[in-house]
Amino acid sequence: MPSLDEKELLANPRQMQRIQSLIIGRLMAIFLLLVTSWIWSSGTLRLSFENFPQGLFLVFLISVGLTIIYFFLVRLSPNFGWQIKTQFFLDGLLITWLVWRTGDVSSPYIMLYVVMISVASFFLRPLTTLLMAAICALFLVALALLTATGVITQFGTAMELGKAVQVVSFHVVAILVVGLLASRLSERHSSGQELEAAAKSLASLQVRHERIVESIRSGLITTDLDGTIYTFNAAATEITGYRLDQVVGRSINELFGDIQESIDLSLDAAGGGEQIPRFEADLLTPDGFAVRIGYSVSLLFSEVNEATGLIITFQDLTEIRSMEESVRRKDRLAAVGRVAAGLAHEIRNPLGAMRGAIQVLESSTAAHSMQSGLMDIILKESDRLNSIITNFLSYARPAAGEFEPTNVGEAVTDTITLLKHSPDVRENHVLVSDLAETPVIISADAAQLKQIFWNLARNALQAMPEGGELRVGLEDLPNNRIRITFTDTGKGMSQDQVEQLFEPFSNSTSGGTGLGLSIVYQIVKDHNGVINVRSREGHGTTITVDLPRDSHRARPEPVEIHETEPTPLRPLLKVTEGEKELSS
């Protein structure tokens, strides 16, 4: 049975270097032994060829020839198992020949058997090492028998039979004992190699497992049976905003809320062979955003099939829910558009007639009378109704924008200048503009941009009836886009108010119809932009408008007509206590 080293030689180039080191080391050891024997025979450092150990020199020459053959075979055959055994077997023969030429059983080179067996323990399995020791002992016994019976020439001093048996027995026992110890050393060496290989395999498996887990685009969390988190992959960090070191050791309930009922239902379903159910929950990120997630729970089993924890996989459903909300909003807006388009002109005509009739009656009514006051109220309300209808028509059938290079900073400045003279601005209102020093030019309709800024600014001021600060910012974004930010310190909005902010006739925070922000939403969409709203009750509101620098739209179509619209930008939705990000 080949050793672990012999198996690894096929795949591990490092083992080939070990074999080459064995070949070179053997040659160097014989050369060192040759020089040492020469010095020992001479009895002085002044060496002479008369005392040169010719037998050892012949062994050295044979070793040189074998070294060349060994290197050739190493390059020729990738399977080194039989080569190792052959090398040690030939070493045993060479040592036996050297022992025979240098005194038979009285040769000082008998100890080379011990050296060879010790070295063999690093390359052979325990049983093979012990077998090699037995072969060496057999070689020595055979040499002693052949020289004692005169089959071969005896180069050593003749010994009495009893003494010769004693010497040979002593050496055989020593060789076998060394072989036994070397086999144990080989066993430990093989175990160490197996342990090292197992450790490398385990490390490789762990790295592969970690890479697989980290490459999964779904969030993955593992916990113990009590719900304490101990693994947290990269997708989980991306979705939740928490790092691994922030959640390890914490309870899963701190992230997902109380999900014990979901865990129980999942385990019951798994135990009954049913499909594991899916659940949804709101997760609050470190930045205060509420992310809607869908998750499932399953048991984590050990290698002995014992339940040791829970596996929770989850996905961010915020984007999907935003798309669903966008579709619902478009359906509602389409219905409103159909109503507006159908009724606006029909209402305007009788409204104009009513206004004309009231004006005629007013001319024949005494001034400052009760009838005159009532007629003034009717005229004001008719003007307000006409304004509502006009906004409806602007929303349902928006005019085609004239796209041309527009300085956004200049449009913001003009809007703020007009706003300062508006009755909406009071003494305790502070207007702050944070604009870029260099002009920011985009392709847009300047009038529609000003309408966006005007409506957003007026809405912010109306949200601060007791005063506050309105800050307008302008900055560049990557991917050739810009961002305009309106931040107020007003009373903020609830989540429901934010969700309905861009719907006509919604519960407006300013008490109006809500058409102004609906028109803003439509204009931003027509400019291929994105409008985001972040608001918390009592903490003010921030509205950002992201626009591309180069935007060209087709001729707008009425909302009420059911035709396929251009593919919108990917909608995003993030909510936290009245926070919502809405994209067109």
Beta bridge partners of 530: 546
Amino acid at 377: I
Identify the band that residue 106 occupies on the pLDDT scale cut at 50, 70 and 90: confident
Greater confidence (240 vs 352) lies with 240
Mean pLDDT comparison of 34-43, 166-175, 322-331, highest-scoring range: 166-175
Domains of the chain as residue ranges with CATH: 4-206 (no CATH), 216-316 (3.30.450.20), 337-548 (3.30.565.10)
Identify the band that residue 537 occupies on the pLDDT scale cut at 50, 70 and 90: confident
User: Which stretch of 121-130, 256-265, 275-284, 571-580 has the lowest confidence by average pLDDT?
Assistant: 571-580
Is pLDDT at 507 greater than 60 in this prediction?
no
Q: Is 582 helix (H, G, I), strand (E, B) or coil?
A: coil
Mean pLDDT, the chain, integer: 77
The predicted model scores a pTM of: 0.42
Q: Is 569 helix (H, G, I), strand (E, B) or coil?
A: coil
Identify the band that residue 547 occupies on the pLDDT scale cut at 50, 70 and 90: very high
Distance of alpha carbon 422 from alpha carbon 419, whole angstroms? 5
Identify the band that residue 551 occupies on the pLDDT scale cut at 50, 70 and 90: low
Greater confidence (522 vs 397) lies with 522
Greater confidence (305 vs 314) lies with 314
Greater confidence (573 vs 224) lies with 224
Query: Which residue, among 121, 122, 61, 69, has the nearest Cα to 97 in the 3D structure?
Result: 61
Q: Is 33 helix (H, G, I), strand (E, B) or coil?
A: helix
In whole angstroms, how far apart are CA 435 and each of 415, 416, 482? 13, 12, 12
Distance of alpha carbon 221 from alpha carbon 470, whole angstroms? 43
Distance of alpha carbon 185 from alpha carbon 112, whole angstroms? 18
User: Which stretch of 4-18, 121-135, 185-199, 427-441 has the lowest confidence by average pLDDT?
Assistant: 4-18
Identify the band that residue 572 occupies on the pLDDT scale cut at 50, 70 and 90: very low
Greater confidence (575 vs 409) lies with 409
User: Which stretch of 294-298, 320-324, 576-580 has the lowest confidence by average pLDDT?
Assistant: 576-580
Q: List the beta strands (DSSP E) in 421-522.
A: 429-434, 441-444, 468-477, 481-488
Distance of alpha carbon 255 from alpha carbon 314, whole angstroms? 12
Measured over the CA atoms of residue 442, residue 444, residue 447 and residue 450, the dihedral's sign is negative
pLDDT of residue 333: 65
pLDDT of residue 47: 59
**DSSP category for residue 252:** T
Query: Which residue, among 62, 39, 64, has the nearest Cα to 52 in the 3D structure?
Result: 39
Provide the percentage of residues in the chain whose pLDDT is more than 70: 80
User: Which stretch of 136-145, 190-199, 548-557 has the lowest confidence by average pLDDT?
Assistant: 548-557
pLDDT of residue 545: 92
Provide the percentage of residues in the chain whose pLDDT is more than 90: 4
Measured over the CA atoms of residue 246, residue 250, residue 252 and residue 257, the dihedral's sign is negative
Greater confidence (379 vs 485) lies with 485
pLDDT of residue 560: 35
DSSP assignment string, 221-236: EEEETT-BEEEE-HHH
Tally DSSP H helices, then E strands, for the chain.
17, 12
261 CB-near residues (< 8 Å, 6+ apart): none
pLDDT tens by residue, 1-53: 444 444 444 445 666 777 777 778 777 877 777 677 666 656 555 655 566 66
For residues 216, 219, 225, 231, the Cα torsion angle rounded to the nearest 10 degrees is 70
pLDDT of residue 398: 58
Amino acid at 5: D
pLDDT of residue 43: 57
Q: Which helix (H) or strand (E) holds 363?
A: helix 318-363
pLDDT of residue 194: 73
pLDDT tens by residue, 430-488: 888 888 778 888 988 888 888 899 989 988 888 888 888 999 999 888 888 999 999 99
